[in-house]
């Protein structure tokens, strides 16, 4: 790994992006090192030289993804002090920003949810633990059920918002501007808050 990390940042980024793109498109089992190497513009031997194996490369991608998500999340650590609707807005913007800056990482993370190869089970568990922690921030905190009107079922609101946010993430494209998308998202959340909260 040290040999890879000693390479120029541009070269590292090219290899990581190529690997995330290929794994994201076809999954772990169907991904070929030769395809990743070709996409990165390097030899297959260099991938093995840097990572030792396909699993070594995949493990690094999990580590790299987790590190970026956790670093970015640290900047949002005050999120837990916000109310439910503000919290969901912050996390949505966070996810959009990640997708904007690291498009290959987003497809890689999505592929992890459907990955079932036993060779990378432990790696996937680590990444999913981080994702679960992020998801916990868009659920209701204890006692927050009381923010809604009496005839509102809190779980239905959470499911509605989760479905909406996933739709926003799915509709995202490279030309989208995060702040413009968030303007619509924020308006939607404010509408829900006005009509469903006490």
Cβ contact 118:97 at 8 Å: no
51 close to 7: Cβ distance less than 8 angstroms: no
Provide the residue ranges of all domains of the chain, joining segments of one domain with +.
Answer: 2-196
> Which of the four pLDDT bands, split at 50, 70 and 90, describes residue 32?
very high
Q: What is the pTM of this model?
A: 0.74
Helices (H), the chain: 2-5, 9-30, 33-40, 44-51, 54-74, 84-101, 103-114, 121-136, 154-171, 178-196
Average pLDDT, the chain: 86
pLDDT per residue as tens digits for the range 75-98 = 666 655 678 888 888 888 888 888
**Cα gap 31→36, rounded to integer Å:** 8
What's the CA gap between 72 and 102, in Å, rounded?
12
**Of 67 and 30, the one with more pLDDT:** 30
Question: 2-196: what CATH class?
Answer: mainly alpha
Give the distance from CA 101 to its chain's centroid: 11
Residue with tokens 């303007």: 183
What is the spatial distance between Cα 31 and Cα 25, in angstroms, rounded to a whole number?
A: 8
Q: Which tens digit of pLDDT belongs to each residue from 130-163?
A: 666 666 556 777 778 888 999 999 889 988 998 9
């Amino acid at each position: 790994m040290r040999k890879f990390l000693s390479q120029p940042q541009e070269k590292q980024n090219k290899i990581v992006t190529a690997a995330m793109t290929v794994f994201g498109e076809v999954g772990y089992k169907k991904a070929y090192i030769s395809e990743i190497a070709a996409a990165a513009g390097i030899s297959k031997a260099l991938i093995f030289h840097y990572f030792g194996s396909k699993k070594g490369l995949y493990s690094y991608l999990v580590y790299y993804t987790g590190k970026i998500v956790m670093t970015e999340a640290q900047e949002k650590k005050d999120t837990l002090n916000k109310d439910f609707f503000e919290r969901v807005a912050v996390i949505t913007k966070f996810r959009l920003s990640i997708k904007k800056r690291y498009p290959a990482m987003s497809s890689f993370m999505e592929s992890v949810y459907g990955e079932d190869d036993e060779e990378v089970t432990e790696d996937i568990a680590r990444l999913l633990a981080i994702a679960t922690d992020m998801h916990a921030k868009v659920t209701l905190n204890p006692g927050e059920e009381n923010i809604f009107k009496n005839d509102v079922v809190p779980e239905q609101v959470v499911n509605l918002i989760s479905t909406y946010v996933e739709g926003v993430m799915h509709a995202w494209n490279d030309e989208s501007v995060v702040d413009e998308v968030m303007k619509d998202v924020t308006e939607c959340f404010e509408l829900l808050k006005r009509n469903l909260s006490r």
